[in-house]
Chain A
Amino acid sequence: DAGITQSPRHKVTETGTPVTLRCHQTENHRYMYWYRQDPGHGLRLIHYSYGVKDTDKGEVSDGYSVSRSKTEDFLLTLESATSSQTSVYFCAITGGGEQFFGPGTRLTVL
């Protein structure tokens, strides 16, 4: 199995609070991605990174920011969480070819 972990695995928070999700990899892959999964939409790309300090927006980036200060860590931040950001968040990595996903973080914003 690809070495990807996500933390926390579950989080409940209130509207307006900041939230940071962490993705950690042990594969030394260059590319890392954050997706969200919602019923009826499949998975949609939020942000991605193509190297340390190199990030770009995906399809649904509004309300999210990311940072990557080390190869192994990719952080997703919700500056001020809203109920529409209640979702399951997946991190993924690739070094070329297959793309592997982390176990997911279930975030509930009340």
Chain B
Amino acid sequence: AQKITQTQPGMFVQEKEAVTLDCTYDTSDQSYGLFWYKQPSSGEMIFLIYQGSYDEQNATEGRYSLNFQKARKSANLVISASQLGDSAMYFCAMREGRGAGGTSYGKLTFGQGTILTVHP
């Protein structure tokens, strides 16, 4: 079974509008972390936002927010006021297991990504 599922291969949004990129995950761990990364056409992986499984508040970073619904096992990325520079591939990823200190800490499992295109 897929551990991270991104069901939207491609999304389109008008400039200045908000867009939600979907991510669902599967884990039996109680402690885990969820990440979103942006990959522009230049190829680098840019960290956007992180949500820990025990965090009660949804994570926010500027125009990015993570809509964390634990019971549904979803961690959708919301981008407000889209800009042309937001056009890129977006990856959701999960880190399972205990906190830093263990030997297997930090291994990420990625979804297949969503290509976001922002139209002027």
Contacts and interface: CB of A to CB of B under 8 A. Distances in A.
Q: Report the contact-size class of chain A (Cβ under 8 Å from the partner).
A: 20 to 34
A74 interface: no
A43 B110 contact: yes
A94 B110 contact: no
A45 B108 contact: yes
A42 B50 contact: no
Interface string A43-55: 1110010100010
Interface of B: 4, 33, 35, 37, 43-45, 47, 50, 91, 93, 95, 99-100, 102-113
The 9 closest A-B pairs by CB, nearest first: A96-B100, A101-B45, A42-B110, A43-B110, A94-B106, A50-B103, A31-B106, A42-B112, A98-B47
13 contacts: A30-B100, A41-B112, A42-B112, A43-B45, A50-B102, A50-B105, A88-B43, A92-B108, A94-B105, A98-B35, A98-B50, A99-B47, A104-B43
A102 B112 CA distance: 19
Interface of A: 30-31, 33, 35, 40-45, 48, 50, 54, 56, 58, 88, 90, 92, 94-101, 103-104, 106
